[in-house]
Structure 1
């Protein structure tokens, strides 16, 4: 039986499996496009909070759209797979974290989602992977679906996400591109119907095969990570020669083949995507026997991690050679501004390392302190910048929140014990801090 044709104007029922950061943003976005959406997650507390229009994480603008979608009756939540069986399109948005002790991705939740859906979906329907996965996963999931459905009622597609934390609303409703990995015109047509308003608004669309769609996301993240590691490598040369890395990065950015974005020297990248995806691509290259490619990709990660050690060294120098017995104020816990995500956060890693070397660390972050406390309760968390800096021997700016960048040195000058500041993000104006009597390093 071939699936019936679905016209782009037809009302669509959509399910979203996984109500984490990606799944919640996608479910809200689909509801905003006018679809009837049900989001499913096995975590009952999370679903209860979302049903009450409460975001379990920080993301600018998303909470208001969540409330509007729920109140309009276009979005609801469940903990049961049975409740989503009647949807026309099922988006799998579950996590694929790095496996402990390995560079490979943990695909347990992806495999479970596809299997449980295939056992229930009556079809015609498509199950669409949005999770970031190793190449070959979509093909395996298509085999799983065929095994459970007989191969005629349900198809698999892959539609990778490109969300930037802190910009999820924009990236969902106004993406810079859409990628469809499909095996039939019917699946392509159905995905076009899902995204019709976005496509009509001029969003570029690439229709391709499974493997290419899977590789687009990890390749994009690896490339962005490479730019960060490259400028940080150049920053080390600048330190050794007396050159200035910020004007250098600015000059490079005027070349439209290079661009200025992601040429930010400093503490390096973190979060739940770039580190994991770089390592997954390394694992893929290794498994394929592409040793030179694997070495190149591995070095991107190694350079990035080395920046944390460099920050610790600079801080140690400012403290006269040791963290033992010193008070250190750390500004920033999240891996970047406008999020409460502390996964693989360079800021948190440096703070914990200083603590382990004997420092008494007081940390402040506008929104991420609770997330940080859940994984590292041994750190002291302060409600204000001033409280964190009281009697500090060193202030370390490690996440470039705007309020930290705009901070007046005078705010802390009479609070700290020693006027030492380490700018881990090259976010401060050195001349301003030096004029206020601070010893500044970046």
Structure 2
């Protein structure tokens, strides 16, 4: 039992706690898994629809009339899920006050400054409007001025409606909707260690919510949780507030690091799970109305609450399965001379398979895939389904094998010893365009390389601040491995210094900066287009007299991308933004930037074109025989070999092999 004095734990992404009492074995339930239906408010509830299908609209009893509009949302957890999700909800709903709470004062301070604790492309643009408010302005309503469209569109000012605070109790007590978005890692000790989900932080937060939430509030699971966690939440609410009614919903996130803002602004689906009751349907309708301000209602899908919880685990598990599958084929390609990219292209052309998640490499990382696969393994084990558990555990085994095989190849090519040699690791985050390092393959690779006794392990990452990488390596690998303590690991602020005098370079993250790409003339292309994969056309003419926030955001990005001089890209082309909150004189992030010469995650420079590393320059300052190990498939192998490199890549053909 959680005592009444329980306080909200620090919502750290790497927290590891012992106890977990969340039920992970489905027991008998009157709930059923109805057919998925989109949100649509055009029909009404009938006894037949109540029993046979689950169109949310047909079970809301006219939600608009009976359910009070959502005016206040509290998101508990200011991490990689809570921060961006709350920011986009506030951005798209100026009439809703959104409070993000976290006990970690350092994290909240950074959210309220020009140094947000996480980097996501596009997040800074959202924060500048929702957190800081915006001035009244006018924009041309058409790409070119014409007689028919000579009057500019007037854009009203808007007040701040996104707030970050440590005042947990107050914000929860004022909220119509409470989103729980805390970390739920894999247990490291006790029953189920290594596969079960550690629910200690989630349970503690649920207890705090139960004590402070106002009667009738909607409690939403945003964290990834085991199936039937909603029952745990309901029981906790009943324990602390007997007789008080709350509705518990499941609303899992389907965000990918590096594209989280895009995934939120243009979601392919919003999944909402609720109890099969009139009040459950009304609660689901209230939450759906928040998303419906910018997401087409056909993409808002509802299920029962347990189906929603399980769907998140299965979605990530199946994506992880594809990565492990193609990596198993990469090993076959290395042994036979086949090329894994050609194999993936051939099988990906089959519409039943598709091309996504068929990029061979050193395997998946991040906080979701491994954890969710293991949660599914534990669920199968508790249901006495050993064959199912073994099947999904093999996905993790193959992922670890892919990583180990890569490191063993490095050691083998360097004559089975790293003694006296310098090895450079390019990429520390688990994937590109993010500073998220949770379960990063690079960290495991650094651990293994360190055991081989190299002279130096140099690390560089374009999105991670060196001081923070150093601190993380100290915590998760050990202080003795750092160069300042006599160890081999050194973190660098630029790629060229990291590669200087190196015996081998390992690419462990697929940043565009590390790619070697040839243009049609066969020359190295060193320029990376601004947001190459998210380049937007001019959104004008606008659909309505006053453009939406999404249209204004698209116009701002378009105008930045169209600037002729990259060095003079305007920070505020619409002349709409308020000043960024000023930092205090003792701001530790400003001090780190001053000491390292690296300005954080480049939020203020996000729209400025970046350059790829000049591999010819790296070649000139490396030691022979110039080994490069491409763990992410970002190099043109033939082009690298023409420079003089000896290249090894996962499952890809090279003349050096």
User: Take 2:235 and 2:460, find their aligned partners in 1: how far apart are those partners?
Assistant: 49
1:96 pairs, out of 150, 160, 184, with 184
Larger Rg: 2
1:40-92 Cα shifts (integer Å, max 9, x gaps): 11111211222235311222211231232122220112212321212111111
Matching of residue 129 in structure 1 with residue 221 in structure 2: yes
Tell me which of 157, 170, 190 is aligned to 1:83.
170
| 1:158 and 1:210 in contact (8 A); partners too | yes
1:61 to 98, 113, 122: 122
CA contact (8 A) 1:93 1:129 kept: yes
Q: Deviations over 1:100-159 (max 9, x none)?
A: 141111111211222211212222210001100111111111121133333543211110
**Partner Cα distance (1:53, 1:381) in 2:** 24
Q: Is 1:366 aligned with 2:462?
A: yes
C-alpha distance in structure 2 between counterparts of 1:247 and 1:305, whole Å: 24
Separation of aligned partners in 2, 1:170 and 1:9? 30
Separation in 2, partners of 1:90, 1:202? 22
Look up the match of 1:433: 640
Instruction: Give the corresponding residue for 2:264.
Output: 172
Larger helix share, 1 or 2 = 1
Change (3 A) 1:96 1:421: same
Count of aligned residue pairs for this structure pair: 439
C-alpha displacement of 1:11: 5.0
Equivalent residue, structure 1, for 2:410: 315
For 2:201 and 2:414, locate their aligned partners in 1 and report how far apart those are by CA, in whole Å.
Answer: 46
- Among 193, 213, 222, the alignment partner of 2:289 is 193
Give the whole-Å Cα distance in 2 for the aligned partners of 1:215 and 1:417: 51
Large movers: runs of 4+ above 2 Å: 3-11, 51-54, 146-153, 368-372, 406-409
Following TM superposition, by how much is the alpha carbon of 1:203 offset from its aligned partner in structure 2, in angstroms?
4.8
Tell me whether 216-225 or 141-150 shows the greater mean CA deviation: 141-150
Q: CA deviation at 1:336?
A: 0.7
Please give the per-residue CA displacement for 1:358-404, whole angstroms capped at 9, x wherever unaligned: 11111111012444322214221122221111111111111111010
Matched, 1:20 2:226: no
CA contact (8 A) 2:288 2:300 kept: no
What TM-score does the superposition give when structure 2 sets the normalisation length?
0.65
Structure-to-structure mapping, 1:23-34, within 5 angstroms: 23-34=82-93
Q: CA RMSD in A?
A: 1.8
Could you say which residue in structure 1 is the equivalent of 2:299? Answer: 204
Task: Work out which structure has the larger RCO, using CA pairs closer than 8 Å and 6 or more positions apart in sequence.
Answer: 2
What does residue 413 of structure 1 align with?
619
Q: Which residue of 1 aligns with 2:312?
A: 217
SS at match of 2:293: helix
Whether contact under 8 Å (2:70, 2:176) holds in the other structure is: no
Cα separation, partners in 2 of 1:132 and 1:116, compared to 1, 3 Å: same
Instruction: Tell me, yes or no, if the aligned pair for 2:70 and 2:286 is still in contact at 8 Å.
Output: no
Unpaired segments ≥5 residues, structure 2: 1-60, 134-159, 475-481, 483-488, 517-612, 650-657
